[in-house]
Structures are given as structure tokens and as C-alpha cells.
A and B are shown apart, each in its own frame.
Chain A
Amino acid sequence: MIFPSALCHPHPDPEALARCLEGLGFRRTQSASPGLLLENGSLALRLTQGQAERPLRLEAQVRDLSSEAQALGAPWQAESEERLDPHWARQRLHHPLGLTLTLLREYSEDELDLLPPLPTHLDWQPEAVAALQQVLRQVPLDFRDAARRRATERAEYLCVVDGGLAPEPHHALQGLVDVTPAFQHPLLADAIRALGYAPEPLFAARQPA
């Protein structure tokens, strides 16, 4: 089995291109010839002396297209932003050394004002779905997918423990309370109260799952 470890790119001036790539977070590594080896932790590039057949195209996911494009500055030339679909936008930047950088930005469910469906297996009451979807918005985005799955599983478990097959709002909210770390409890309590439910009994009955 062969595990490719680097992308090779011929260029008339590898040293100049390497300096440009260092501006994008690449570091030179100790390596034997041929050429220069650079890596950034997830991608390795070997630059060799030669005629470039096409521009080197790199892609990066960023949180903000315009600020990242501005931060790069001259001599990068930026195309205008493109919305690829409701979830993704793209901006391409070109460097005179023959380097094209594509910046991608994913729009979050909050920015799109979406309430993604819950990964349910039981026959949920619509009010229970709505309650959990709303309160989940208080969970930081980076942890929300995991919280959505775990709270749904926990709510379904609690519902069956209660002898039911159709989770109700109190199962949904208890499920989220049970899987939420303690430091987020104040925020969660406020969100539950804002929906019209009393958070105290839910926190009193909390069984970390």
C-alpha cells in the first residue's frame, strides 16, 4: 500500500513561491532534494524547479471571506464573492507567481435562520420538536450537531422509560439539560424560561448522560 505524502508542483522560481506560501501558514521542513518541501499540518507541497503547467490551486475554508481577502492584500488580486448555493460562498484570489487561492465560507444554520430536523426515531409531538430546536440555538455552533443528536437520543430514552413512544416537550428539554455541560446551564435555563417552561424541575431532575 502506498500513502502519498505530498503534492508536487514544478515552478520556475520555487524559492519565491515558497516565500509566498509561508505567508499562508506553510513552513519549510528539513528535507532532502529535490526542491523545497513545505507543510502546514494538513497539506505538504514539494516545489521543484521547472515550467508550471498550470497555476497551483489551493483551497481554504474561512469564517469571513472579505476580511481574509483584505488581510492578504497586494499583490493578491481578488475576484468578487460568489454565492454557490444557500449554504456556501466562494471568493478566488490570484497571485502573480501563478497561485490561485479559493476561499470558501459555509453559512451556519443561525445565519440562514434554519432549524435543522432532529435525528428522531420515535413519533415526536410537534411541540416537543419545536421546543428542542429552539433551545438548541443556545448551544455554541461548534457543539450543536453533537448536542442535537445526544439530546434527541436522551429524550427518546426518557420517553420510553416513562412508558411512552411519543416524546413530549418535557422529555425533549430534560434530554437537553441532561447532556449539557454545567457551564452552559445558566444560558440554557434562560432559553427554557423564554419558551414558557419552568427550568428548575428539569435541572433538579438532571441525570448527566
Chain B
Amino acid sequence: MFARLRRLPHLLRLAWGVRRLRRAAQGPEKALAQAALARALGGGRGMAMKIGQVYADRSGASALDELLHGIEPLPLTTLLPLIEQALDAPPERHFAQIEPHGIAASLGQVHRATLHNGSAVAIKVRYPDIQAILDGELALAGLIPGVGPAKRWGFDLEGYRQSLRDNFERELDYLSEARRQQWLREQLCVPGLVIPEVLLPLCRDGLLVQRWEAGEPLRSAESWPLGERLQVARTLLQTLFQSLFTLGELHGDPHAGNLRVRRGAAGVETLLYDFGCTLSLARERRLGLLRLILALRGEAEPIEPLQGLIAIGFDVEKLAHVAAEMPALMRLLLRPFLLNAPFDPAGWGLSAAFEAQLGVRRWWFRSAGPADVVLLLRIFQGLFNHLERLDAKLPWWPLLVQAVGEETLAEARALVLPTLPDGLSLSPTQPAATRLRVQLYEGERLKVDLELPADATAELESLIPEETLAQINAQQPGVVAEACARAQASGLVAQGLFAWEEGARQVRVWLE
């Protein structure tokens, strides 16, 4: 109890940091608030450091540096007895040398060492008191009141707590982490990806030994030439796609501290470390998401979006409150996968569009998600942060197809989805229109027949010559802007947009 109370002032500082961040406007003030919170979170090991890594990723390189150096590493002399206990032998029996300076992390500390055969390795040793710290923090997490918005929208708080507990328990078990890392190293086949080899015979419950794979921090790549930055971005994207859709086991902690980059004879390589926190997704869940994407792309039979979400694990009763908006919402959320062009997150406006579509009812959607979806969102958020910092924009879909392969795509197409309860309104995923059509007739004669990609609807006003647009608006004020907004809200499904006539001239615009 006393240990928990000692942590309380620290948690109060964090609460103040979060409050300051929420109230900060965009720009420098927000960046400062983020950096301050990252520093506050970095002031302690355990859960606080974990959250801090996420905020540090958003705040940039300096915040991450401050965070990583915010904790004084324990002296090696404190850790040597732990290593000896884990190996049941003096460390010098296995290691010719262990460097005294360690790198502090959230749950353990890393030291470079050399084996007797001269190979360089990294030894990760779990902090001696970390289990007790986490127990205390998890107990405090259990005090989160189940009232207010959490109760109103039916958030599964116990589910979140359990998910948190499960994650930390997995993360504390270094032997389990070593096996997951080795498995992913063997299974993941992504150009440019390097996962260090684990030396399993030397791994124990609180000790993980792996080959030393050196690289530069990810921020170094921010100043690399475009071609090299794109290679790093492609590796990050394909690693996520293959982990998520083919293997069902994802690195759950992809902050910049767990990534390194290097240039070599084989080209640009991206190193991925620390597999303590991973997310496992059952076959039906991962293929359910892929099936939904395929249906929205028109590359599989149409499905009811709710079916896809239920397969992923969403609560159907809560989703029923927002069922009508699901087709448009899914197009918005999954836009990076639907676009046949390089995806630029800057033009996505996800939060604002999400709020505009659902308003306060967005909480139904959020609370309908299973607890571990939060971790999945964090993984995607981490990816977006890295892509933004690398200033690398790539089309996602062809990279996904290459990463997961035809076999996984065929498996997803053949997936049998759960049936919906009786009475729930159905709105099957109409594939998005692929073309915006514009026809101009003069009398009976077709003068102009244009086919543009459906995405061009967003820029319809700029595509119409100014003079014509003025004439259309004079006759039907705002008709073009309204048609654009209506089409976007519907998720760009096939529909008529508007028609205009003046004398013998007739214009028809539609999505097909």
C-alpha cells in the first residue's frame, strides 16, 4: 500500500501533464506540452515510461532522447547477481565482457556484451523491482471509476484493465518474448527488415540475449535522400501488413526507440527490436478486417460492414446505434487501403471527419471495439508518426498485396462472416464508384465525355471552368458543392451528382 502511495504524486504529475496537453492549442504550445508530458512520464519505470514512449514519438526526436535518458540506468553491479541467478552460473562463463554502461528502458535494461567466440550480443535484464511497481500501477488502474462517459457509453473497463494486465505479464516474461522474437524473425519475410537473432539457450525468464545489430536512430533517416526514406517506409508498412494479415502476431510497441536504420551493401535496412509487447489476432479477426477492405475496394463480394466489424470483435449491439453510418465511416477509416495513389495522412483529416459523421455517437463506435483494438490503433498511430517524420508517402494497397500474398487474400475472400441478428438494418458495402463521369451534350450531340477517378469528386468545383461554375451556381446556387459533400458523406458510392441545362447545352455529372 505504501509503495502505491509513493507512486501517487508521480501519477498526479502525469494527470497534470495530460490536462495541459489537452488544453494546449496546436503548434509550438502543443509540442511543448507533449514534450513536458513525455519528460514527466519518463521519470519512472513501468507503465508511465510506456505511455511516455507513445507521447515522445509524437513530440519528436528531442523528446524521445529526453525520455530515454530520463532514467538513470542501474549500475551493472546491481544486475550481475540477477544475470548469474538466471543463468545459474557466473556471467563470465558465458560472456567474455559486459559493457558497464547500460541503456534504461521501461521494464528492463540493455547492456552490450561479447561472447567468448567474439560475437557481440545485447543482454536485456529485467529490473529487479519491476513486478512490484507494475502490480501497484495496475492496482491504481483498477481504481478508475466506472461512471460518467465510461458508464454512459458502456466502455468495457474491465476488458481494458485485463488487456493491460495481460500485456504487462507477457512483457515481463523474457523467455516468452525471446520465443516470439525468434518466431517472427523466421516467419516475417519483408525486404529490408532485420530482426536480431535470439540466442535461446541463454534466455531465461528475466534475461534475453540476442545478436548485437547496430544501426542509427530512425531520426537519422529523416535527412536521407528520398529513395532511402521510401525504402524505410516500405519496410515499415510491409512489416505491419504481413504481421497483421498473414501471421496474426504484431509488434505492439513500434515507437522510434525500438527501431534503428542502417545503410549497407544490401541497401537500406530497418532493424526492429523489443518484442515484449505483441498483439495476437485470431484468424477470423485479421481476415475479417482484410475481407472488409477487399469488399470496399470492390475486389470481393459486397458484405454488410457490420459483419466485417463483428468478425474483428466489435460489439454488434453498440454498433447498431451507428449502423447507417458504417459504409461511409469504413471508407473514411480504411481510406489508406482504398486509395490507388500515394497516401498522404496530412490530407486525411480523420478526427474531424469522424466527428462530423457521427457527432457524439462516435462514442458508440469507440466503446464497441474490443479492448485490444486500442493497441492496434496505437500500432497504426506509431506507423503514421514514422511515415510523417520520414516524409514518405506510398500507395498502401500494392504494398499490402506484395506483403501478404495471394494465398492470404484468397483466404480472406473465402472467409465465412458472422450473420447479423434479425432486425438489424442492412446496408451492404457497395463498392466505391471508380469513375466520375461528366458528359456535355449540345442538342443531341455528345460534345464532351470525361472519365475521371472517383476521388476527383472532392475537387469537382476546381475541375469545372470558372465561367461555367458561375453559370451553374447562378441557376442552382450551391448545387456543385452540395453534390460533392453528399458524395463524400456516402463514401463515394455510385450516384447521380447533378445536372444542368442552359439552352441547348446539357451537363450531367455522376459517379459510377
Contact = CB atoms under 8 A, between A and B. Distances in A.
B230 A156 contact: no
B228 to A, nearest CB: 9
A208 B451 contact: yes
Nearest to A160: B398
A41 B477 CA distance: 10
Interface stretch (A8-16, A48-56, A146-154): A146-154
Q: Which of B342, B450, B470 has the most CB of A within 10 A?
A: B342
A140 B351 CA distance: 38
Contacts of A209: 340, 453
A121 B344 contact: yes
A70 to B, nearest CB: 21
Contact of A146 (B234, B398, B399, B456): B456
B465 interface: yes
Contacts of B360: none
Nearest to B341: A153
Interface stretch (A81-89, A93-101, A108-116, A161-169): A161-169
A161 B342 CA distance: 12
Contacts of A39: 474
Contact of A166 (B227, B341, B393, B456): B227
B236 to A, nearest CB: 13
A188 to B, nearest CB: 15
B119 interface: no
B394 interface: yes
B322 to A, nearest CB: 30
B141 interface: no
Interface in B463-477: 463, 465, 470-471, 473-474
A41 B227 CA distance: 49
B63 to A, nearest CB: 27
B398 A161 contact: yes
B231 interface: yes
Nearest to B227: A123
A101 B41 CA distance: 64
B111 interface: no
B298 interface: no
Interface in A112-170: 121-123, 142-143, 146, 150, 153-154, 156-157, 160-161, 163, 165-166
A181 B450 CA distance: 6
B320 to A, nearest CB: 36
B205 to A, nearest CB: 43
Contacts of A122: 226, 230, 342, 394
B446 to A, nearest CB: 10
B452 interface: yes
A186 to B, nearest CB: 16
Contact of A42 (B227, B435, B470): B470
Contacts of B336: none
A143 to B, nearest CB: 8
B299 interface: no
Q: Which of B225, B230, B234 has the most CB of A within 10 A?
A: B230
Contact size range, A: 20 to 34
A161 B435 CA distance: 21
B302 interface: no
Interface string B362-394: 000000000000000000000000000000011
A208 B393 CA distance: 23
A123 B342 contact: no
A156 B399 CA distance: 12
Nearest to B392: A121
B451 A181 contact: yes
B449 A181 contact: yes
B248 interface: no
A121 B398 contact: no
Contact of A123 (B230, B453, B456, B470): B230
B217 interface: no
A143 B344 CA distance: 23
B227 A153 contact: no
A141 B329 CA distance: 37
Nearest to A42: B470
B402 interface: yes
B91 interface: no
Interface in B442-493: 449-453, 456, 459, 463, 465, 470-471, 473-474
B395 interface: yes
Contacts of B474: 39, 41-42
Contact of A157 (B231, B340, B473): B340
A183 B395 CA distance: 29
Contacts of B226: 122-123
Contacts of A165: 227, 230-231, 234, 394
A183 B450 CA distance: 10
Nearest to A161: B398
Interface in B154-193: none
B341 A157 contact: yes
Contacts of A156: 341-342, 395
A163 B398 CA distance: 8
Contacts of B395: 156-157, 160
A142 B225 CA distance: 35
A160 B237 CA distance: 13
B394 A208 contact: no
A154 B339 CA distance: 11
Nearest to A119: B342
Given A146-B456, A157-B395, A181-B450, A208 B227 contact: no
A160 B394 contact: yes
Ranked 5 nearest A-B pairs via Cβ = A153-B341, A42-B470, A41-B474, A123-B227, A121-B342
16 contacts: A41-B474, A121-B344, A121-B394, A122-B342, A142-B465, A150-B452, A153-B340, A154-B341, A156-B342, A157-B342, A160-B394, A160-B398, A160-B399, A179-B452, A208-B451, A209-B340
